[in-house]
Amino acid sequence: AQSVAQPEDQVNVAEGNPLTVKCTYSVSGNPYLFWYVQYPNRGLQFLLKYITGDNLVKGSYGFEAEFNKSQTSFHLKKPSALVSDSALYFCAVRPFNTDKLIFGTGTRLQVFP
Amino acid sequence: DTAVSQTPKYLVTQMGNDKSIKCEQNLGHDTMYWYKQDSKKFLKIMFSYNNKELIINETVPNRFSPKSPDKAHLNLHINSLELGDSAVYFCASSTTRGGRETQYFGPGTRLLVL
């Protein structure tokens, strides 16, 4: 079955420290991978995507993610966290033969001042 | 200049009623989607339309009927609402031109069935 796992319900980090939000996936074929962020009572905002090419992709607000095919992972990272980064983060995969996004269960990022 | 818009933003209604949610995108995209986010924040696709044609129809009760009058609009009609329909419904759009593109989401419609 095709799936996405976000093993951490919540990640806590101090402002200024680096952050990582983990994501692993299980799909057949070459996947397209995405990260979205959801602020309270808001819609999902696109952060970044991996389609092909360089394994390190850069996105909005200083976020980046590294695609690791052997570990089937697509972890989200940021070198220096901001309090305003506090939100719910979703990893999603789009199997090559469909348009639908399969989402992980989300990880709540809490950045403390 | 909102890219993907939904109306209404909030919807509170009684069990058994029929309601509709509207979605419009001004991005020139040819594919639109409906997703449901439950109380645990889990997101799951319901439907997708490409050029007004139904492409994806997940295991959704037939009380839910999407309608796409044109490429820029995808509405969701729900008959005989049940308590379990309470959720946030997100519309999204993308384009298949030039390959697989990003889906852009609307702000969501928060439905509460009493």
Q: Which residue in B32, B108, B97, B5 sits closest to A100, CA to CA? A: B32
* CA max distance for chain A: 44
Chain B environment of A90 (Cβ under 8 Å): 43
Q: Chain A: give the shortest CA distance to residue B17, in Å.
A: 25
Closest Cα in chain B to A34 = B102
B56·A100 Cβ contact <8 A: yes
B107·A106 Cβ contact <8 A: no
B56·A105 Cβ contact <8 A: no
Size of interface A-B (CB pairs under 8 A): 57
Are B48 and B33 spatial neighbours (Cβ–Cβ below 8 Å)?
Answer: yes
DSSP per-residue codes, A22-41:
--EEE-SS--EEEEEEE-TT
Are A69 and A27 spatial neighbours (Cβ–Cβ below 8 Å)?
Answer: no
Q: Chain B: give the shortest CA distance to residue A45, in Å.
A: 7
- 3-state class of A45 per DSSP? strand
Closest Cα in chain A to B43 = A103
Q: What is the pLDDT along chain A (113 residues), one digit of tens a residue?
A: 789 999 999 999 999 999 999 999 998 888 899 999 999 888 899 999 998 888 999 999 999 999 999 999 999 999 999 999 999 999 999 887 788 899 999 999 999 99
What is the reported pLDDT for B56? 83
Instruction: Report the distance separating Cα A13 and Cα A106, nearest Å.
Output: 17
- Weakly modelled stretches of chain B, pLDDT under 70: 1-2, 97-100
Instruction: Report the distance separating Cα A70 and Cα A81, nearest Å.
Output: 28
A99·B44 Cβ contact <8 A: no
